[in-house]
Amino acid sequence: MSEILPPLAQDTSAVLVHDIGNYIQIAMSAMRLMSRDDRLAGSTALGAMLAQAEDSLDRAGALIRLSRHGPLIEEETELGNCLTEMATLLRYATGPSVTVRLHTGLVPRVRISRVGLQNVLLNLAINARDAMPAGGILTISALLADGPSTPEVEIVVADTGTGMSGETLARAFEPRFSTKPAGGGMGLAGARQFIEAAGGRIGIDSSPGHGTAVTLRLPATA
């Protein structure tokens, strides 16, 4: 007598992460081969683009590895470096019609996963780009702020885009909520989860026609 087995209980997102990881590795190997190709030697512009693509895949790979091997590892992170390191990536991600401005003064370090924070900032920058189809300005600034009890670092990611309606703003952090045709709706939900796990808070200030500012507050290290 044949028996019909129930489908294997699988964590689909873990499987997905695993499979994406494989493709990232393949793409990385292809990039490495390309970067060694003699035909590239004549073009610094192509070399720079390839380096950027490699850097992005590298980051994606790091996130996948971290998500497989437990929580992101927290480290003392200096925000000035952390942002400068991302400048080129942010410019590529937002495209030529968006002006990217980064402002960091002397701010204390924060204890957080550097790759994780950079991933949040990239997600916020991509949201900003999507909200500025005709171009605009993306400003990311970090400053020291007074927290409820101890000093905090405030990071503001602001755009001059469409802004959000009250209804969108109310649901923006909801997992899988998206107003975009192909949107996954996990960017802000993931950002909130990550920032809160690091002991911080995240908030949005937005109204139609007035752009959007996402504020992250993180405890400063003593």
Minimum Å gap between C-beta 144 and ligand ADP is 24
- What are phi and psi for residue 151, nearest 5 degrees? -60, 150
Q: Which does 71 bind (CB under 5 to 8 A by kind): ligand ADP, Mg ion, none?
A: none
- Specify the 3-state DSSP secondary structure of 199: coil
- The site string for Mg ion over 180-209 (x = CB under 5 A, - otherwise) reads -------x----------------------
Of 178, 143, 173, nearest in space to 157 by CA: 143
Q: Which does 185 bind (CB under 5 to 8 A by kind): ligand ADP, Mg ion, none?
A: ligand ADP
Residue 133 gets which letter from DSSP?
Answer: T
User: Which residue minimizes CB distance to ligand ADP?
Assistant: 187
The smaller minimum CB distance to ligand ADP, of residues 200 and 211, is found at 211
Q: Report residue 41 as tokens.
A: 């030697």
Q: Report residue 208 as tokens.
A: 């139609």
Q: Report residue 26 as tokens.
A: 């393949």
Q: Report residue 193 as tokens.
A: 């989860």
H-state helical runs in the chain:
12-35, 44-68, 79-94, 114-130, 166-171, 187-197
Minimum Å gap between C-beta 25 and Mg ion is 25
Q: Which does 160 bind (CB under 5 to 8 A by kind): ligand ADP, Mg ion, none?
A: none
3-state DSSP percent of the chain in helix, strand and coil, to 5: 45, 20, 35
> Which residues of the chain form contacts with ligand ADP (CB under 6 A)?
127-128, 131, 159, 161-164, 168, 172, 177-180, 183-189, 212
The smaller minimum CB distance to ligand ADP, of residues 71 and 208, is found at 208
Minimum Å gap between C-beta 124 and ligand ADP is 7
- The stretch among 43-51, 54-62, 97-105, 127-135 that binds Mg ion (CB under 5 A) is 127-135
Q: Which spans of this chain sit near Mg ion (rule: CB under 5 A)? A: 127, 187
